[in-house]
Chains A and B, each alone.
Chain A
Amino acid sequence: MILADMHIHSNFSDGKLSIPELVDLYGSRGFGAIAITDHLCEENTLIGKAARYIGHTLTQATFPLYMQILKSETERAWDQYGMVLIPGFELSKNSVSNHRSAHILGLGISDFINADDDIITLAGKIKAQGGVVIAAHPVSTQKVEKQTYHLWDRREELAHVFDAWEVASGPYLFDEVLHSSLPKIASSDLHSPKQMTSWKTLLYCELHREAILDAVRNQNLEFHFYKSEVTSNDLRNGLDVYSMVGVAGSHALRHVLNSESL
């Protein structure tokens, strides 16, 4: 059983922490697998260009650095914590209208993809790299932020395209997705350490990359509400621990997962 979070942002897009800091944050808490999924916005839209101007997206220029740092951190995550780090991105198609906006997670990817293509083409390109395709926060996240309903609006047409649909983003479960027959996954969509308290996924598989991706594809998983604890490491790293939900106990949460699972 592996505690996993498959939707995390670093400072390569709009996350607060660097990839090494994320590895330490999750590794020190006993997670078995995480995926770094920074935004990769469209190049030809105004919103995509704005994201590029303010550095909130991966670009063709930063992507090689991103993959190299992920590669070196994959080795460190395994050596230091026994944790699998999976490279990913969040293809972000943003529009003024929530119903024309869609975010697509690609896990286990290796090459840059231009997000301007249509959704089916993008999913095909991710799968061609051996990756897993996930519909990110397809319904309301119950937060004051940009919403992305386009995939949910077209869920019948696109059902075959996605390996899983996010059933939670942060601390909120999406009832519509939960009660659907679609394949699911729960992730935090973490941008800062205070978002650690959130729904995560427990995977039933061996601890290596391909087995983890297969577990998502085959739905060998369940959902788990993870309450973050404050560690001295957070204090040393100056992380924003004051807004975390603190619970006492061991950090080896891989072995104490009986609190709230679905």
Chain B
Amino acid sequence: MLYGTYLTLNHFDSVGAGLKIPYHLPPISILKPLKGVDEGLEENLVSFFELEYPDFELIFSVGDSSDPVCDLVRDLIGSYPNIRARIITEAVQIGMNPKVNNLVHSYNEALFDWLLISDSNVRVEKRYLKRLTAQIRPDVGLITSVVSGHSPQGVGGYLEAIYLNTFYARGMFLAERFHRTAAIGKSMLFRRSTANRFGGIQILARYLAEDYMAGEAMVRLGLKVIIAADPICQYIGQYSFRDFWMRHLRWGRIRKAQVPLAFLIEPVVGSVVSFLFGCWSLGFLFGISPLFVMIFHFSVWGASDLLIQKRLKAELGPRWLGCWILRELLALPLWISIAMGSTVTWRGREFTLETGGILR
């Protein structure tokens, strides 16, 4: 945990601080898969229209032309006539992954070789794209970003934000440090010509975690997957407890299918199980009071999580402490629940995951 915290803090200090924007910035096609009008969507999309970048296009991929999000996007395109933007409302059925099905046409029709796949719930700063492309190197196949959860509402929203801003952020840097793939689909910058060497985005339609497999494919090509200098902001908004639980059940089952060894040790690196181990061993070996161990252990853990949250510029509301304790207590029951099944529900559809992340 401490090492993961160190890696996280060190990344933003060293990589972020020393970043120089190059004179030549490659043109980029930004692909945005959309479905429905979620809370905060308009503000999220506006942040992309207002990017400060010399040459980019926005392609909005909507699977169903009657989706109300089309009207919102058309209005925005009309409001920003100087931005090259279009909407593609034609999904293809090449696999079980609806996001990939939705993106295939946009992937093929994008004007530029550099593609940024960016989820609908991401909100960025104006210099985001400049700082992202500053990290392009010949040995890098894919640049992904850590997500910082913002504007949570409700218990589920807070739990979601805390999960993103602590467990997931730390886990991404640990994965990168130990040469495991840390790509997440909320922000993936790569070259289409490179992706075509492993079959393009189309081949990823058979997997639920298309982002993880894209990263894996880059690594198999001998290229690196790196984490961007800046976190991206995910607008969370109103979340029920059930939303939070089902989402992390899905993510957890994907991790179990894709990286079963890492999933197996997750409880041991969680705060509650490691406390129980520490409590028993320190008491047995040195006779240290369990109360002392508990206060010390959770103080260090909580301070570490707070540090990461502050570095991610995440908002810390008054409900943070209570929700943080709840999240830590829920980690083990959630893990057990993940371990006991292999089905996931995503946007109303149920899928069965096989080892390796193939969808059935």
Q: Do A and B come from one complex?
A: yes
Produce 1/0 per residue, A178-222, CB < 8 A to B. 000000000000000000000000000000000000000000000
Indicate the member of B197, B206, B357 with the most A CB atoms within 10 Å: B197
The answer to whether the Cβ of B76 comes within 8 Å of any Cβ in the partner chain is no
Contact A65 B199 (CB under 8 A): yes
Asked if B47 CB lies within 8 Å of chain A CBs, one says: no
Is there an interface contact between B260 and A61, defined as CB atoms closer than 8 Å?
A: no
Which of the segments B27-35, B211-219, B308-316 contacts the partner chain?
B211-219
Which residue in B219, B220, B355 is a CB contact (below 8 Å) of A59? B355
Are A60 and B356 within 8 A (Cβ)?
yes
Assess whether B222 is in contact with A17, with CB atoms less than 8 Å apart: yes
Measured CA separation A19–B199 after assembly (Å): 15
Which chain B residue lies CB-closest to A68? B199
Complex contact B357–A61 (CB within 8 A): yes
Asked if A124 lies at the interface with its beta carbon under 8 angstroms from chain B, I say: no
Q: Can you show 26 pairs from A to B with CB atoms below 8 A apart?
A: A10-B220, A11-B219, A17-B222, A19-B221, A21-B222, A52-B355, A52-B356, A53-B260, A54-B261, A59-B356, A60-B356, A60-B358, A61-B213, A61-B355, A61-B357, A61-B358, A62-B216, A64-B199, A65-B198, A65-B199, A65-B217, A66-B220, A69-B217, A69-B220, A69-B221, A72-B198
* Contacting pair A62 B199 (CB below 8 A): no
Q: Using an 8 Å CB-CB cutoff, how does the interface string of A1-33 with B read, 1 for contact, 0 for none?
A: 000000000111000011111000000000000
Known contacts A60-B356, A65-B213; is A18 also within 8 Å of B220 by CB? yes
- Are B197 and A69 within 8 A (Cβ)? yes
What are the nearest 7 A-B pairs in CB distance? A61-B356, A18-B222, A68-B199, A72-B197, A59-B356, A53-B261, A21-B222
A contact face: mostly helix, strand, loop, or mixed: helix
Interface residue B196 (Cβ < 8 Å from any Cβ of A): yes
Q: B257 to chain A: closest CB distance in Å?
A: 8
Which residues 27-69 in A have Cβ within 8 Å of B in the complex? 52-54, 59-62, 64-66, 68-69
**Measured between alpha carbons, how far is A18 from B222 in the docked complex, in Å?**
5
Give A156 to B261 CA distance when docked, in angstroms. Answer: 41
Q: Whole-angstrom distance between the alpha carbons of A66 and B217 in the complex?
A: 9
Interface residues of B in 164-199 (CB under 8 A from A): 196-199
Which size class do A's interface residues fall under? 20 to 34
Task: Report the count of interface residues on B (CB-CB < 8 A).
Answer: 21
Closest chain A CB from B227 CB (angstroms): 21
Q: B residues 324-360 with Cβ under 8 Å of A?
A: 354-358
Chain A residues within 8 Å of B207, by CB: 61
B-side contacts of A53, CB under 8 Å: 260-261
- Asked if B203 is at the interface of the complex by the 8 Å CB criterion, the answer is yes
Complex contact B196–A72 (CB within 8 A): yes
CA distance A64 to B207 in the complex (A): 11
B220:A19 contact, CB within 8 angstroms:
yes
What 1/0 mask marks residues of chain B from 234 to 278 whose CB sits below 8 Å from any chain A CB? 000000000000000000000000001100000000000000000
Chain B neighbourhood of A20, CB < 8 A: 221-222
Q: In whole angstroms, what is the CA distance A18 to B203 when docked?
A: 19
**Which residues of B are found within 8 Å of A66, using beta-carbon distances?**
220
Complex contact B221–A18 (CB within 8 A): yes
Are B358 and A65 in contact (CB-based, < 8 A)?
A: no
User: Nearest Cβ in chain B — how far from A192, in angstroms?
Assistant: 14
Q: Which residues of A contact B355 (CB under 8 A)?
A: 52, 59, 61
Asked whether A69 and B358 contact (CB < 8 A) given A18-B220, A18-B221, A20-B222, the answer is: no
Nearest residue (CB) in A for B217 is A65
Q: In the docked arrangement, what's the CA distance between A69 and B217, Å? A: 9
How far in angstroms is the closest Cβ of chain A from B192? 13
A75's nearest neighbour on chain B, judged by CB, is B197
Contacts of B354 in A (CB 8 A): 60-61
Query: CA separation between A19 and B221, bound complex, in Å?
Result: 7
Name the A residues within 8 Å of B356 (CB-CB). 52, 59-62
Q: Which residues of the partner chain A approach B206 to less than 8 Å between Cβ atoms?
A: 64
Residue of B with least CB distance to A12: B220
Nearest A residue to B264, CB-CB:
A53
> Shortest Cβ distance from A9 into chain B, in angstroms?
13
Chain A: minimal CB distance from B181 (Å): 10
**Please, which residue of chain A has its CB at the minimum distance from the CB of B199?**
A68
B193 to chain A, nearest CB (A): 10
Q: Chain B residues near A19: list those with CB within 8 A.
A: 220-222
A110 nearest CB across to chain B (Å):
14
Taking the closest CB of chain B, its distance from the CB of A247, in whole angstroms, is: 27
Bound Cα distance A17, B222 (Å): 7
In the complex, which residues of chain A have a beta carbon less than 8 angstroms from the beta carbon of B198?
65, 68-69, 72
**A65 and B261: CB pair below 8 A?**
no
Measured between beta carbons, the chain B residues less than 8 angstroms from A62 are 216, 220, 356
Residue of chain B at shortest CB distance from A62: B356
Bound Cα distance from A10 to B203, whole angstroms: 20
User: Using Cβ atoms and an 8 Å threshold, which residues of chain B touch A65?
Assistant: 198-199, 203, 213, 216-217, 220
